[in-house]
A and B are shown apart, each in its own frame.
Chain A
Amino acid sequence: MSLKNDIIDSVRRHAQAECDMPEISLEAVKYADPVSEFVEISRFVGGDAIILKDGENINTLIRTLYPEAVTVASNMPEISISTCNPDAADDPHNLNGIDLAIVKGEIGVAENGCVWIPQNVKLKALYFIAENLVIILDRNRIVNNMHEAYEYIAGTGYGFGVFISGPSKTADIEQALVIGAHGAKSVTVILS
């Protein structure tokens, strides 16, 4: 088996003139109203984003959105409709069959509908295995573009983190778009 040094030596032997790292200081896209841009693009990518109205109860809203969900998993204290605490499970396999997971997002990105979720549940399988996913996001934490998002992220620590933009999808059969490949079949971002 090769050792690290063998490989790095081979890289050094095949020399390349050094090229400078460019300054990443571009004027990236910004929106007059990042929140409405985020809502629009979330729909474009097959998901949805809903602004929680003043005085509206978040649990009631989720219930009306997902009236048929039987097993609802969330570790968020403000979610009273959850039927199980996903953090009580030791084995991710036990999370299979959850109808709806409700989780917290950190940052929303207006240019592509991504929500950054640094792992904030015990088993990260929850984000992917649930049939439907609700992400609760503070509407004041929507940035314009990925540069701004990474600027924020670079200052944080995480073991695992994921940007999610809409529901799981595929177009592998004749390029026909189908929502709901392996992950959540629907994703709703609630902007609190």
Chain B
Amino acid sequence: MSTKHAAAARQFILNREQEQWHNETLWMVRQKRDNMAMRIAEWEELRELAGKIKMHTISRLDHYLELFSSEAERNGATVHWAKDANEHNEIVYSILKEHRVKKLVKSKSMLTEECLLNPYLIEQGIEVVESDLGERILQLMGENPSHIVMPAIHRKREEVGKLFEEKMDSEKGNSDPTYLTRIARKYLRNEFLTADAAMTGANFGVAQTGEVVVCTNEGNADMGTSLCRLHIVSMGMEKLVPDLKSLGVFTRLLARSATGQPSTTYTSHYRRPGEGCEMHIVIVDNGRSEIRGNSEHVQTLKCIRCGACMNTCPVYRRSGGYSYTYFIPGPIGINLGMLKCPGKYSDNVSACSLCYSCNNVCPAKINLAEQIYGWRQGLDSIGKADRMKKLMSKGMKFLFSHPALYRNALKMSPAINLLPRFLVYSKLNAWGYGREMPRFAGESFTSMWIKGKVKKTNRK
């Protein structure tokens, strides 16, 4: 029995060239992140602080939510509260309807993906235009993001060129990224100019000042919000930080961790709506308050959605975002999926080699790997353990607790080296299927020890 992740990953690696490109490109982003981190002597201290500030904020979230919302209202924004995705979507639609909005431009927001806002609004007759280039490409292709920061990382330039030929009348056969970006700039400029409302996510909400901070490289969030009179912010309740002083810790970490840039191009602070303009902030729970009470997994609420855990993950790099069944892939997505619905998303917990690399890069110091390990231990209790591996584990447990049998089995193990591949890698060996088996040594350590073949070497 293999998980949905393993099955999808098998499809992904069929295209060796693409797999290698994906792997190497994301690793390059990881290295850029390292270069940035190494330039900052206090990097580890920053991560430590970020984790602690977030934990503090979450532990007093009721207080900070009160503070943020009252300050935001004092600034002239309207604050809405949504307990789940449905409420979020209904609130957004009612604001749009009230303002007779026909076209909405959006900047990238994982929360609106989580709430499935776009299909909902489109069904209500609203034209929704994603304005982040990667998101726009996917929207035109009818696809979902495969990475939370680099949404179209699974698509090649030729595919984008073809798409633009069809949708934006670009030159035939031209897939030069600069050319295609220019075409998209012109095309989306027109969308910005004709939109009635703009929607953004929030990278941070500053409780003390009631302002929302949005970080982009393209400037798409700002184009939308400065041309439209109506700005709707969709913000998960965990996005709060106490004050501007703590915000400084996060703006130093975010872009360096995400893309290896010293800063995003634009770090916009929206405090008061402009003259004659309106700003609405929808604060979304959608399961977050419940996670707060879950001491084993509360740390997932510290996530600032930088994507670093994906870039570093050997499984993500070599299996692609679509191999995961939850809309957020990689280490953080494995955990968030399980928190959303363990019965539905348990296939992803196998997508981890427990290398702990994610723990070491996460700017908020989330214990991602321990959490994944914890989920695996609990799989049996939700009836999702791999039956074949369970059977083999039982067998191993029996062997390990019966020394004589174990020694005998070890004596036999070199024989596996001689077995034909089709037996070792058959579906009966759930571990051999999907990974290379180690070669067993010709003689066991115990037997070598007894025969005096093991020599002590002096370590210096």
Residues of A within 8 A of B (CB): 1-4, 6-8, 10-22, 24, 26-29, 41, 44-45, 92-93, 96, 109, 111-114, 123-125, 127-129, 145-147, 149-151, 153-154, 158-176, 178, 180-184
* Residue of B91, B132, B269 touching A172 (CB-CB under 8 A): B132
Point out the residues of chain B lying under 8 angstroms from A176, CB to CB.
157, 177-178
Residues of chain B in range 292-326 having any CB-CB distance to chain A below 8 Å: 292-295, 298
Point out the residues of chain A lying under 8 angstroms from B271, CB to CB.
158-161
Interface of chain A: mostly helix, strand, loop or mixed: loop
Q: Verify B285–A167 contact, CB threshold 8 A.
A: no
Q: Answer whether A41 and B262 are a contact pair too, CB < 8 Å, given A24-B246, A96-B193, A128-B219.
A: yes
Residue in B closest to A149 when the chains form the complex, CB atoms: B248
Minimum distance in angstroms from A19 CB to a CB of chain B: 4
Point out the residues of chain A lying under 8 angstroms from B246, CB to CB.
24
B3 within 8 A of A: no
B247 within 8 A of A: yes
Q: Verify A160–B272 contact, CB threshold 8 A.
A: yes
* Residue of A16, A160, A164 touching B274 (CB-CB under 8 A): A160
Stretch at the interface among B60-68, B111-119, B367-375, B380-388: B60-68
A-B contact pairs, 18 of them (CB 8 A): A4-B69, A4-B79, A16-B61, A21-B242, A26-B42, A96-B189, A111-B262, A124-B226, A128-B223, A147-B245, A154-B243, A162-B267, A163-B266, A165-B263, A169-B265, A173-B177, A180-B182, A182-B189
Residue in A closest to B261 when the chains form the complex, CB atoms: A45
Point out the residues of chain A lying under 8 angstroms from B243, CB to CB.
154
Interface size band for B: 35 or more
Q: Answer whether A178 and B178 are a contact pair too, CB < 8 Å, given A4-B69, A96-B189, A160-B269.
A: yes
Q: Per-residue CB proximity of B233-270 to A under 8 Å, as 1/0?
A: 00001000011111111011001000101111111111
Q: Verify A170–B218 contact, CB threshold 8 A.
A: yes
Q: Verify B272–A159 contact, CB threshold 8 A.
A: yes
Q: Per-residue CB proximity of B49-75 to A under 8 Å, as 1/0?
A: 100110110111110011001000001
Minimum distance in angstroms from A108 CB to a CB of chain B: 12
**A184 to B223 CA separation, bound complex (whole angstroms):** 11
Q: Per-residue CB proximity of B176-211 to A under 8 Å, as 1/0?
A: 011011101100110011000000000000000000
Residue in B closest to A178 when the chains form the complex, CB atoms: B181
B404 within 8 A of A: no
B29 within 8 A of A: yes
Minimum distance in angstroms from A41 CB to a CB of chain B: 6
Residues of B within 8 A of A (CB): 25, 28-29, 39-42, 45-46, 48-49, 52-53, 55-56, 58-62, 65-66, 69, 75, 79-83, 87, 90-91, 131-134, 137, 150-153, 155-157, 160, 177-178, 180-182, 184-185, 188-189, 192-193, 217-220, 222-223, 226-227, 237, 242-249, 251-252, 255, 259, 261-274, 283, 285, 289-295, 298
Minimum distance in angstroms from A171 CB to a CB of chain B: 7
Q: Verify A162–B42 contact, CB threshold 8 A.
A: no
**A166 to B279 CA separation, bound complex (whole angstroms):** 27
* Residue of B157, B217, B291, B295 touching A181 (CB-CB under 8 A): B217
Point out the residues of chain B lying under 8 angstroms from A20, CB to CB.
52, 56
Most B CB contacts (10 A, CB to CB) among A6, A111, A147 go to A147
Minimum distance in angstroms from B303 CB to a CB of chain A: 16
Residue in B closest to A29 when the chains form the complex, CB atoms: B40
Q: Verify A22–B87 contact, CB threshold 8 A.
A: no
* Residue of A2, A8, A44, A162 touching B266 (CB-CB under 8 A): A162
Residue in B closest to A125 when the chains form the complex, CB atoms: B226
Q: Answer whether A19 and B45 are a contact pair too, CB < 8 Å, given A41-B262, A168-B218.
A: no
Point out the residues of chain A lying under 8 angstroms from B45, CB to CB.
26
Q: Verify A172–B157 contact, CB threshold 8 A.
A: no
Residue in A closest to B251 when the chains form the complex, CB atoms: A146
Residue in A closest to B80 when the chains form the complex, CB atoms: A1
Q: Verify A6–B266 contact, CB threshold 8 A.
A: no
Point out the residues of chain A lying under 8 angstroms from B75, CB to CB.
159
Point out the residues of chain B lying under 8 angstroms from A181, CB to CB.
133, 181, 184-185, 217-220
Minimum distance in angstroms from A48 CB to a CB of chain B: 14
**A93 to B87 CA separation, bound complex (whole angstroms):** 33
Q: Verify B177–A16 contact, CB threshold 8 A.
A: no
Q: Verify A2–B83 contact, CB threshold 8 A.
A: yes
Residue in A closest to B43 when the chains form the complex, CB atoms: A29
